[in-house]
């Protein structure tokens, strides 16, 4: 069915508009700039219709029951048979010729009444509530509420600090019983742990006996809670939402490449939340990925340039590094945590030094959702830029053998602990190490030259995820004083090696150079034109590699190989 055939016409508040068939009234109205307020409805969860906030008037064109012919009014227009009472927008799908009123007086009265009932027992503790500033109850109370309460009886008293699990705290008085958290645990996390007990206004959210909300997706319940009932223990009472600057970024925990929002203030990251991308992560992300920003202030963070374990200036560190690398017999160890742009520059450095390149695969257990077996965000980028030509192993023993044979005298390691990668202390005694990374480790302590790197929150660039989707991330906070983004650092190192002045460089300039490469899967792409939801690339010759990922949300390795083969045939 074509896109045109999949569209139908409805009358929305007196105006005929086209909407996709099969969607509900909330989504249909949203497509045309009209808001139908709601609490329980979530586009990625099942419909329950228990908040009643999305009530609208709905009618259908009337037909003669016998002949099927349209029934006309005195003006010759087809009559509309209106439902006797408002219907819920979340549970009503659009139909041909449907008439919908989202702002009639009856609808506004319904919303006013629902809001009054929701606020009857709700505590007025907005000044101390973490949800203040981004709370649906606040917003809709202002838009559709009456501005005062007629309730003079005592409010129900419920527990204010209920420990649901290691990361989530419940304030039961604020809960409006929308059941989003319950449905998420059942339908997405596949961990049926939450439910309601008691009845009416005494209903309470709780964990089932003997269970806790401790799965690796528990904080998504905080994200989708429309009020301040569920709060993150780590973010609780730490910062007001309206002070936070939001920056789009990509989660670096695995090759899934969850789209995220980094919330910061005055150079400090306070929280990470998922950013909606229906092709990658819907509106979810693992809890473990939310903690990655802790690396910024890690006590083992590398903050200074070092030569022979002594602090030096940037220029001196680069001069010494260049001296070691220029002696020949060099190996360059890259990382799946480097951006596409950084890997391209690393490839240029390796080509100039005529050095072999290595990347270690970081493999973990995948969960079938948003945590893949490949625990790096950009292994595909190393393939696409030509830094490596085949899928890497889980160690660097091949490099170790070349060191043992005396073929390698200097190792330039980027974000990779060589000891963890399988090299022995005896092997590393035979080489000089130049290390670029963010955290102190065995390799940095052994290295002759240490260059401090910046985290993904402190720089901008692009990653290619498991779907071969090119996605960009933007700098959220500045790096430690005196450090440079990896891209600028590598650019200066390359200039030092060549003995030339440091050329100016930007992401856009580098992408012009990337586009000059022959037969590149990145051809035609540019950083500034890459949309925030990414661009799906054709993996070309890389589609048949032995990838470790198997199945997850929006990804199946078998389907990936089948689909990309089909796309490749169509473009020939």
The tens place of each residue's pLDDT in the chain, 572 residues long, gives 455 668 999 999 999 999 999 999 999 999 999 999 999 999 999 999 999 999 999 999 999 888 888 898 888 888 999 999 999 999 999 999 999 999 999 999 999 999 999 999 999 899 999 999 999 999 999 999 988 889 888 899 999 999 999 999 999 999 999 999 999 999 999 999 999 999 999 999 999 999 999 999 999 999 999 999 999 999 999 999 999 999 999 999 999 999 999 999 999 999 999 999 999 999 999 999 999 999 999 999 999 999 999 999 999 999 999 999 999 999 999 999 999 999 999 999 999 999 999 999 999 999 999 999 999 999 999 999 999 999 999 999 999 999 999 999 999 999 999 999 999 999 999 999 999 999 999 999 999 999 999 999 999 999 999 999 999 999 999 999 999 999 999 999 999 999 999 998 999 999 999 998 887 899 999 999 999 999 999 998 899 899 999 999 999 999 888 765 555 444 44
The ranges of the chain annotated as CATH 3.40.50.740 are 305-571
| Total-model pTM | 0.93
Q: Determine the Cα–Cα distance for residues 373 and 256; give it in Å rounded to an integer.
A: 9
CATH topology assigned to domain 305-571: Rossmann fold (3.40.50)
Angle of helix 507-514 versus helix 340-353 axis, rounded to 10: 60
**Structure-block tokens of residue 92:** 């009503």
The CA–CA distances, whole Å, from 423 to 11, 395, 404, 442 equal: 69, 8, 10, 11
Q: Determine the Cα–Cα distance for residues 261 and 263; give it in Å rounded to an integer.
A: 6
CATH class of the region 7-103: alpha beta
Whether the Cβ atoms of residue 307 and residue 448 lie closer than 8 Å to each other: yes
**Structure-block tokens of residue 79:** 């009559």
**Structure-block tokens of residue 171:** 């304030």
The CA–CA distances, whole Å, from 213 to 122, 160, 162, 171, 285 equal: 24, 17, 12, 15, 16
pLDDT at position 568, please?
47
The ranges of the chain annotated as CATH 3.10.20.740 are 7-103
Q: What is the 3-state secondary structure (H, E, C) of 149-164?
A: CCCCCCCCCCCCCEEC
Tell the residue number behind the tokens 């002949």, with chain if given.
Answer: 67
CATH class of the region 120-296: alpha beta
């Amino acid at each position: 069915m074509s896109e045109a055939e999949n569209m139908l016409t409805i009358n929305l508040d007196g105006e005929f508009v086209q909407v996709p068939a099969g969607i509900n009234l909330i989504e249909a109205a949203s497509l045309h700039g009209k808001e139908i307020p709601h609490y329980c409805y979530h586009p990625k969860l099942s419909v329950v219709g228990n908040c009643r906030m999305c009530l609208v008037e709905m009618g259908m064109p009337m037909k003669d029951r016998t002949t099927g012919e349209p029934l006309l009014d005195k003006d010759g227009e087809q009559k509309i048979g209106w439902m006797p009472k408002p219907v819920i927008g979340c549970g009503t799908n659009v139909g041909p010729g449907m008439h919908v009123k989202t702002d009639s007086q009856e609808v506004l009265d319904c919303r006013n009444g629902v809001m009054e009932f929701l606020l009857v027992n709700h505590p007025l503790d907005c000044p101390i509530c973490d949800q203040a500033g981004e709370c649906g109850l606040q917003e809709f109370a202002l838009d559709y509420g009456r501005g005062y309460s007629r309730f003079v009886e005592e409010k129900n008293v419920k527990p204010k600090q209920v420990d649901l699990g290691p990361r989530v705290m419940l304030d039961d008085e604020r809960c409006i019983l929308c059941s989003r958290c319950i449905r998420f645990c059942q339908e997405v996390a596949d961990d049926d742990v939450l439910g309601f007990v008691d009845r009416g206004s005494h209903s309470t959210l709780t964990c089932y006996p003997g269970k806790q909300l401790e799965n690796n997706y528990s904080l998504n319940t905080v994200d989708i809670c429309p009020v301040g009932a569920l709060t993150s223990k780590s973010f609780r009472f730490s910062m007001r939402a309206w002070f936070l600057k939001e920056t789009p970024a990509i989660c670096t925990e695995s090759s899934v490449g969850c789209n995220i929002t980094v919330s910061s203030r005055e150079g400090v990251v306070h929280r990470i939340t998922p950013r909606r991308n229906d092709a990658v992560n819907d509106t979810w992300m693992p809890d473990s990925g939310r903690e990655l920003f802790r690396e910024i202030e890690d006590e083992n963070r590398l903050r200074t340039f070092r030569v022979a374990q002594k602090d030096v200036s940037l220029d001196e560190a680069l001069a010494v590094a260049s001296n070691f690398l220029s002696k020949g017999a060099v190996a360059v160890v890259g990382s799946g945590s480097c951006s596409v742009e950084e890997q391209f520059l690393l490839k240029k450095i390796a080509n100039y030094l005529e050095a072999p390149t290595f990347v270690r695969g970081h493999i973990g257990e995948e969960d079938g959702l948003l945590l893949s077996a490949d625990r790096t965000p950009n292994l595909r980028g190393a393939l696409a830029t030509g830094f490596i030509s085949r899928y890497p192993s889980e160690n660097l023993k091949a490099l170790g053998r070349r060191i043992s044979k005396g073929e390698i005298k200097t190792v330039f390691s980027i974000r990779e602990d060589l000891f963890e990668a399988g090299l022995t202390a005896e092997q590393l005694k035979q080489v000089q190490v130049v290390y670029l990374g963010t955290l102190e480790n065995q390799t940095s302590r052994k290295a002759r030259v240490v260059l401090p790197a910046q985290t993904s929150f402190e720089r901008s660039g692009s990653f290619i995820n498991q779907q071969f989707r090119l996605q960009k991330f933007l700098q959220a906070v500045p790096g430690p004083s005196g450090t440079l983004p990896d891209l600028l650092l590598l650019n200066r190192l390359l200039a030092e090696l060549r003995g030339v002045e440091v050329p100016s460089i930007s992401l856009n300039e580098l992408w012009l150079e990337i586009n000059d490469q022959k037969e590149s899967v990145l051809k035609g792409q540019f950083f500034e034109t890459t949309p925030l939801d990414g661009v799906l690339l054709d993996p070309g010759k890389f589609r048949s590699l032995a990838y470790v990922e198997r199945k997850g949300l929006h990804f199946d390795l078998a389907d990936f190989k089948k689909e990309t083969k089909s796309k490749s045939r169509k473009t020939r």
